[in-house]
Structure 1
């Protein structure tokens, strides 16, 4: 009987510890992120995406990652075309 309680208590402690570890990793703020955008670049990109439905559904840490991806994708804005080159003539 005591072995059963010991297993139950150890299982509860392990599950509680795992939950606590995952919550701290997910709760990182953008201030802790060294790659977070700041200043004019951040406000410019945020102005473009803040009303998008997908962006509004993200958490704070995910929003920072999304802004970084949008910034990196702007490099290719002028090089990506839907039409083939032969139709440009």
Structure 2
């Protein structure tokens, strides 16, 4: 888990900011998964942090929802363009 946190920090995935006094802070939960090789041996461990969004209050914590979904081909195109354009 510490390795995942270090990678997220190195990639500037998030910024730690002070808590606003009027904010409702959501809980979170670490989810762990083992990635296996074809022969069944452990390849690596994966961890991700999932927000517990069920604790949010409509009209207080949010007014609208948005879920960004990128298809695999779109993601590959974006990475290709990033490589070409530097």
- TM interval, shorter chain, is under 0.3
TM-score by length of 2: 0.21
Of Structure 1 and Structure 2, the greater strand share is in 2
Q: Which has the higher contact order (CA 8 A, sep 6+)?
A: 1
TM-score by length of 1: 0.21
